[in-house]
Structure 1
Amino acid sequence: MSISKNISRRKFCHTSGLAGLAMTIPLVSSGCASLESKKRTFKTLEEKTYNPRLIANEDGFTFLYHSGDDLGANDLKTYLSRWKDTNVDMVAYCVAFGGFVTFYQSSIADPIGTGYKTSEKIEQNRWLRNRERLVREAGDYIGLVFSFLKEMGIAPVASFRMNDIHLSEDPAGPLAGSFWKKNPQWRIGSSYYLDYAVPEVRDYLRQLINEVIHKFPDVAGIELDGMRTPVLFENGKGQELAPLLTELIRQIRTDLDAASLAQGKPRYVLRVNVPRSPELALKCGMDVATWDAEKLVDSISPGCYGTDFQIPIERWKAFLSQRTLVHAYFNSGRISSQYHSLEEYRGAAANAYATGADGVYLFNLPCFDEMAALLLRPIDQPTFPPPQFNAQCWHPDLSRSQQALYELDDPNNIQRKNKKFLFYTDQMHELHYAPEQADIQRENPQPTDLHFRCYEDYSRVKEIRIEIKTVSVSIFDQFSFSLNNQPIPSSCVKRLHAPGGRDRRIHATVLEPYSQYIIQLTSQKKLMQPDENLLTVTLVKQDPDVLGKIELREMELFVNYC
């Protein structure tokens, strides 16, 4: 049964019960000694397959490419053991990407590293060497992955990245694959993207899916990763050509059902990652309403490449049947090149569950291991488990972030725990990032509204504060703030200023000279609404010698219970 059938938004906000967690690593203290977690209810593999609550995505190449040299079957098992005894129900493991290359021994596409036994790049050598060692020891890298995951009681799903263009970094290299290289006429214009309006492109993906289903007996289903990347058709033609993609999914569903019948197996699941809103998905050619009406897919994960703390889950749930589950899609970070803290994962999940999500989908979590691979270590130290990357550079303590694997499967697990919410962070392309942009034009300065969601029970909160940056300002620019149309007292506002801005020596996201405003709302909790909120920023005094616009960026909401 889905979350939306059990817990309403308001009931979610005011529920205080806690469900339990079972784990093999020490619990990280939340700072609230009275809120110790308990063991969660056991779920069968069948329940995890058909009603997953927490899904994790593995990109396939973190192990082969980033982790180290000369890795074998025992290394792979240790690497995958991160998921064991966590609350992760399903792992969507990438088996094909680029244009297309595979991580398994394929008779259709190029296995990764094909034709690149020697290379000037150390990490490129690993693709082939590590994969070939796994072939010698166990027959196939991906086959061994699925076997190990199933042995751990986790549902393994084969994930296909529909238009991943990592190959753009080296179009003549091993990520491109012969299918992409030999058929430039099947790309979208002069871009790197394959064009799904071309029958041969759609058929190629279908062939690969059929190959995986018949090759790997342990796989529980297929994932179409439409978020890597949601450019499937020529710009502006997605909605018009959506029936082509629907027909492909219809064919894949037929193939999966035929395979399960022939093999005497339960129904294979079919899930799809899609852009954040129904309208945007359709614009990209993904007609989810038809997929649902025809019972083609079992679940979707809407979101954007940077984690969206305001995914409109309620709009998906309004028209989808209860049989199609909706898992909120979270990346490993929102601000460019800055990974999530545990509190940020909690905040994103809390908002998703409050708007009806059936669960959470975690993308790019193995990036934490990529960070660990940047650390020096003794050369004879085992590759796994990797060293902990603890609060270095501008990143949070990633060892704490991984506790999300024990909390995010159930909204009760994150009740009355400290949270952080991120809004208005990146001003990027709409297909990949939340459409949150706010600025003030100096030539005609008007109050600017920033909309944000939060569904916490403020009566139990010990501290609430907002931090927000005004970018491209001098010390002579002054601002006032109101919350839900009520002025915030100036005594609650503190201003800090960075006259040099922010450059790549201290953070990957560059900012012009900016001020950061710290707005303490603990004494003004009555201003907050347990739903939609509105922060209004007004330029009350302007530097007369500066032109252009002022950006409002990186709004952070801290809700602390202890």
Structure 2
Amino acid sequence: MALLPSPPFEDSTVQSIERRTFLGTLAATAASLKEPSIAAPQQSPKRLLFNWDGSMIHCFGRAALGNPDGPLTKEQFSKLIFDPLAEQSVDAVLFSFGNGNVAEYQSRVLEWPGEADRFQFPESKTWHGGIPVDAADQYRNPQSLAEAGANPPQLVVNECHRRGMRAFVSYRMNDCHDGQHPKGTIPNPELPTFKRQNADWLVEDLDWWTALDFSHPQVQTLKLKAVEEFFDRWDFDGIELDWLRHTLYFPRGTEQENAHHLTRFMRKVRKSLNRRAAQRGRPIEVAVRIPERVAWCQAGGFDIARWIDENLVDSLILGQGLTSLPTLAEFRALMGTRKLPIYPCLTPIGNGYMAQPDEVIRGTAANLWNAGADGLYAFNWFYYGPWRKALLAEIARPERLAGKNKRYIATHRVAAPSGQPGADYVRYSTQGRSAGVPFSINVKSGSHTTELAIGADLRAQNDRPKQAHLWIEFEFLGDQDVLSVTCNDHSLEIPQTPRGVERKQMGKLLTPPANQGILGFPADRPVDNTFSGVLVPVPVELLRQGTNRLTFTLKRRTPGLDHDVRIRRLEVQTGY
């Protein structure tokens, strides 16, 4: 296959750059910038933003479609993008065209995946996180599309607009997936030349060692050029600057003192895009994805209060792996008369599930809507085919969730030991800092209370469940243990057997229809969402919309068992 030539770099300081971004809403003039700009018209917030990870499509799309011989065609690429979407409910697609370091499109700024290694690719088929894949597909598929006249950014813009959806580029500001393998591991398709030749641009002493240090002007120049290319060449409606991929912008402990560097970059982006918006006669919206607490934003160097005050952003996307969002009001408090839309991140994987059941996704959506969200942001929705399209339509409108089974889950802690990949990028998230489970109880320590959010108005005539149950997964529970559980200070009756607390096989397999499935998952077997747990009936009248308190007390321990009882999972199922 002929290779597209690599265009020359447009700036002597630039050798390549990153490639992923995400969403936006409502753009306006940045008052502090004396530049041409164009204000966005007043409009209702978008209801559902859909982030597509293009790397997943390029890496796993051929296998999903049963096309082992050649690269993806334009029709196949479009099918993988749009078949899963509820087009009447998804308002905007935020497409990530790679990791922001190499380009899964023909670029005049960035290299192709593998170009730094002269298109030699790893022989290992488990290069990407242990999932079987042909690493060369990350180059072959987008290169073939571009060569056929369907450069992925142009295709995404055209197909979104044809369907009445807005097209955003989702740009990953500092993705470190190219650092998940040890230094010196070659070939490394996602590791660009500019990182190999400019080690001084990288943040020192990080577990994911390829993070760029944004205190370097050359880094900011490179990133800005990558952003500008999307609007110089294609008709995108806006951009998501994804600051959560990943959160490693400066040496540890210096994030707050270096925050002005990120603010300076945001000013450059706004100034540049305002100028381009004025030239084309319509706004370019800027969204940012940031941690879900203001304090965590400050800790990471994301001065969101200043960004809002200086009109550098048009909408906020909060968090990752959320199950609820009690901190949304913190961001509202930063806003003056210009109210920015807020979109919490809903991720259908994680928190105890490889692929969450419909009931869990509905419960999380209900929680996020009840928190005051203006819309939802779907992230890592790796499904192909239309089998979960109806579910997307349900979560896009809170009223559509009424009367449908839901399961409200506690956030699961994600921890990575220092020195291992992932230890850094979970540091500003509920999963890494304040998760509800797991926790331990013992006789001496007394009771442990945790909180669980329920988003539905359980008193509403159209959303009052017929029954409710508390799902609990224990570890190290003994046959003679005696424990109590209360819900909002009312005792619950734990089912018993002659051998102690009754345990059941809970959950069920998630089986996609034929020729549909989940990118990166084996197509020939279902996802196992079962576990051994305890099912505790909960009188519906004990539950309340909002925060619910669950208290666990271990009153007596089985003789001979010295370690703590551990609660690994907490969920409340409501049935209609």
TM-score tier (shorter): 0.7 to 0.9
Q: Secondary structure at the match of 1:143?
A: helix
Q: In the comparison of the two structures, how many residue pairs are matched?
A: 472
Code of the aligned partner of 1:105? Q
Paired amino acid for 2:171: F
Kindly report which structure 2 residues correspond to 1:474-553, keeping only aligned pairs within 5 A, or say none.
Answer: 474-490=478-494, 495-496=502-503, 516-521=533-538, 524-553=539-568
> 1:453 is matched with which residue?
453
* Counterpart Cα distance in 2 of 1:278 and 1:507: 39
Query: SS state of the match for residue 450, structure 2?
Result: strand
Partner of 1:283: 299
Runs of 4+ in 1 over 4 A off after TM superposition: 46-50, 490-494, 506-511
**Counterpart amino acid of 2:472?**
I
| Match among 129, 137, 140 for residue 126 of structure 1 | 137
Letter in 2 for 1:72: T
Report 1:324-473 matches (<5 A).
Answer: 324-335=340-351, 338-365=354-381, 367-369=382-384, 385=385, 399=387, 401-428=388-415, 429-434=426-431, 435-436=434-435, 437-442=437-442, 444-459=444-459, 460-473=464-477
* Cα distance change on mapping 1:49 and 1:332 into 2, 3 Å: farther
> How far has the Cα of 1:531 moved from its partner?
1.9
Query: Which of the numbers 252, 263, 269 marks the counterpart of 2:269?
Result: 252
Aligned to 1:180: 195
In the alignment, is the contact (CA less than 8 A) between 1:309 and 1:347 conserved in 2? no
Q: Distance in 1 between matches of 2:276 and 2:43?
A: 17
Identity %: 22
TM-score between both structures, scaled by the size of structure 1 = 0.78
Contact 2:369 2:398 in 1 (8 A): yes
**What amino acid sits opposite 1:266 in the alignment?**
R
Please give the secondary structure, in 2, of the residue aligned with 1:138. coil
- Flag the 1:528–1:208 CA change in 2: closer, same or farther, 3 A: same
Q: 1:123 is aligned with what amino acid?
A: D
Q: Per-residue displacement from partner, 1:426-481 (whole Å, max 9, x unpaired)?
A: 34344244322452354733200011111323342111111012223332333110
Structure 1 segment 73-222 matched on structure 2, within 5 A: 73-82=74-83, 83=85, 85-97=87-99, 100-114=101-115, 115=117, 117-119=119-121, 120=123, 121=125, 123-138=134-149, 140-170=151-181, 172=186, 173-191=188-206, 192=209, 193-216=211-234, 218-222=235-239
Q: Which amino acid aligns with 2:195?
A: W
SS in 2 for 1:101: coil
| Per-residue CA distance 1:224-279 (angstroms, 9 max, x = gap) | 111212232222322222221111111101100001112x2311000011112111
Residues 391-410 of structure 1, C-alpha deviations (whole Å, 9 max, x = no match): xxxxxxxx3x4423212222
1:17 maps to none
Deviations 1:507-555 (A, max 9, x none): 99999xx97221111xx22322222110000001113433343332211
For the residues of structure 2 that align with 1:495 and 1:453, how far apart are their CA atoms? 26
Q: Which residue of 1 aligns with 2:60?
A: 66
Q: Hey, what's the Cα distance between the residues in 2 that align with 1:323 and 1:139? A: 38
CA contact (8 A) 1:308 1:433 kept: no
Q: Is the 8 A contact 2:443 2:553 kept in 1?
A: no
| Rounded Cα–Cα distance in structure 1 between residues aligned with 2:217 and 2:318 | 26
Sort the Cα spacing of 1:109 and 1:48 in 2 relative to 1 into closer, same or farther, 3 A. farther
CA distance in 2 between partners of 1:258 and 1:408 (Å):
36
1:53 to 30, 39, 47: 47
Instruction: Flag structure 2 segments of 5+ consecutive residues without an equivalent.
Output: 1-39, 63-69, 126-132, 416-425, 506-524
- Tell me the SS of whatever aligns to 2:395: coil
Question: Which deviates the most, 179-188 or 150-159?
Answer: 179-188
Q: Which amino acid aligns with 2:221?
A: D
2-structure distance, mates of 1:241, 1:509? 45
How many angstroms apart in 1 are the aligned matches of 2:383 and 2:445? 42
Q: Which amino acid aligns with 2:396?
A: D
Q: With structure 2 as the length reference, what TM-score do the two structures score?
A: 0.76
More helix by share: 1
Once the two structures are overlaid, the 10-residue window that deviates more, 170-179 or 423-432, is 423-432
Structure 1 residues 477 and 196 mapped into 2: Cα distance closer, same or farther (>3 Å)?
farther
Match of 2:256 among 220, 239, 244: 239
| Distance verdict in 2 for CA 1:103–1:531, change over 3 Å | same
Structure 2 CA distance for partners of 1:509 and 1:547, relative to 1, 3 Å: farther
1:202 maps to a residue whose letter is Q
Counterpart CA distance in 1 for 2:412 and 2:282 is 43
**Are the counterparts in 2 of residues 450 and 535 from structure 1 also a CA contact under 8 Å?**
yes
Cα distance between partner residues in 2 of 1:507 and 1:276: 33
Seen in structure 2, the aligned counterparts of structure 1 residues 431 and 402 have a Cα distance that, compared at 3 Å, is farther
Determine which of 215, 218, 241 is the counterpart of 1:224.
Answer: 241
Letter aligned with residue 353 of structure 1? W
Report if the CA contact (8 A) 1:477-1:542 is conserved.
yes
Per-residue CA deviations over 1:311-350 (Å, capped at 9, x if unaligned) read 5223222333453110011112123551122222221111
C-alpha separation in 2, matches of 1:350 and 1:316: 20
Match of 1:21 in 2: none
Over 3 Å counting, the alpha-carbon distance change for 1:509 and 1:205 in structure 2 is: farther
- Aligned equivalents of 1:433 and 1:520: distance in 2? 28
Letter in 2 for 1:487: S
Amino acid of the residue matched to residue 96 of structure 2?
C
Asked whether the 8 Å contact 1:496–1:516 carries over to 2, the reply is yes
Distance 2:319 2:446 in 1: 31
On the 8 A contact 2:412/2:438 being kept in 1, the answer is: no
Match of 1:315? 330
- Which is worse superposed, 246-255 or 472-481? 472-481
Q: Is the 8 A contact 2:59 2:134 kept in 1?
A: yes
Distance in 1, matches of 2:243 and 2:438, equals 28
Return the offset for 1:352.
1.1
Q: Are the counterparts in 2 of residues 344 and 419 from structure 1 also a CA contact under 8 Å?
A: yes
Contact conserved, 2:322 with 2:411, CA < 8 A, in 1?
A: no
The RMSD of aligned alpha carbons is 2.9
- 1:76 Cα offset (Å): 2.1
Aligned equivalents of 2:323 and 2:574: distance in 1?
A: 18
Query: Does the aligned pair in 2 maintain the 1:308–1:334 contact within 8 Å?
Result: no
Shift of 1:207: 1.4
Deviation track 1:117-146 (CA, whole Å, cap 9, x = no partner) reads 453356222222222221121152222222
The answer on whether the counterparts of 2:471 and 2:535 sit within 8 Å (CA) in structure 1 is yes
Q: Retained in 1: the 8 A contact 2:170–2:239?
A: yes
Partner-residue secondary structure (3-state), 2:350: coil
> Residues of 1 paired with 2:494 and 2:348: CA distance?
35
Residue 215 (structure 1) shift = 1.4
> What secondary structure sits across from 2:282 in the alignment?
coil
